[in-house]
Amino acid sequence: MNSKITLAISKGRILEDTVSLLERMGMAPVEDLNKTRKLLIDTEDPNVRVVVIRATDVPTYVQYGAADLGIAGKDTLMETQGEGIYELLDLGICKCKLMVAGRSELPDPGKRLKVATKYVRSAQQYFAQQGKQIEIIRLYGSMELAPLTGLADLIVDLVDTGNTLRANGLQPLEHIEDISSRLVANKASLKVRVGTLQNIVEQFRNAIEES
């Protein structure tokens, strides 16, 4: 076992906020993540290294213990079964909302609605709780296009400013969940490396309280 703690962080929109949080903690990656091709990188903290991976892979690395800790959006965590993962802290970064959106006209409630999303599990759960029968159409991006082209009646997607919806003539219709990034841990690591991990969690807590 590597003696360093491995922290899995997500590429993409969440990366910038994650790195500024790590900088405040004295745990900044020692290489510029926008330039380096390395994926396993030391940090200013000699006890911690980071792996930079796709957001959807973070729960997998943490679940199997390849990473002791991870930072992932609640949206991503809700899509995984989460076995072997413990959610420790709401980091309060990358806040947005998981929403149902569609055209201004509400679709005919009599028919089985088609819902395009990459958040298949969350959408299924949400509509099941509402007692609504829907057909899920799985997409991997540009969900906003689906109602415009007749592929789906509704979408389930993340909404931040609402600009993307507006630009495509769509409206937020129903709120499913408030989303933000969370610090998660591998359950076994939490037991085996409790002291070290508690210190790191405390550093995260202090950094988010300061901001």
Interface positions with ligand AMP (CB under 6 A): 13-14, 73, 94, 96, 157-164
The percent of the chain in helix, strand and coil, each rounded to the nearest 5, is 35, 30, 35
CA distance 170 to 154: 9
Smallest distance, ligand AMP to C-beta of residue 204, A: 18
Smallest distance, ligand AMP to C-beta of residue 128, A: 23
Rank residues 123 and 158 by Cβ distance to ligand AMP and give the closer one: 158
Angle between helical axes of 194-210 and 13-24 (0-180°, round to 10): 100
CA distance 68 to 52: 14
Quote the Cα angle for 75-80-83, to 5°.
130
Longest dimension (CA), the chain: 60
CA distance 117 to 160: 16
Smallest distance, ligand AMP to C-beta of residue 161, A: 3
**Residue position matching structure tokens 């330039």:** 35
Smallest distance, ligand AMP to C-beta of residue 118, A: 8
Smallest distance, ligand AMP to C-beta of residue 138, A: 15
Rank residues 67 and 155 by Cβ distance to ligand AMP and give the closer one: 155
Rank residues 96 and 116 by Cβ distance to ligand AMP and give the closer one: 96
Dihedral through CA 46, CA 51, CA 52, CA 56, nearest 10? -140
Give 98's contacts (C-beta < 8 A, 6+ positions apart). 75, 78, 119, 122, 156, 157, 158, 159, 175, 176, 177, 179
Q: Quote the DSSP letter at residue 151.
A: S
Rank residues 84 and 162 by Cβ distance to ligand AMP and give the closer one: 162
Smallest distance, ligand AMP to C-beta of residue 145, A: 11
Rank residues 13 and 24 by Cβ distance to ligand AMP and give the closer one: 13
Rank residues 21 and 94 by Cβ distance to ligand AMP and give the closer one: 94
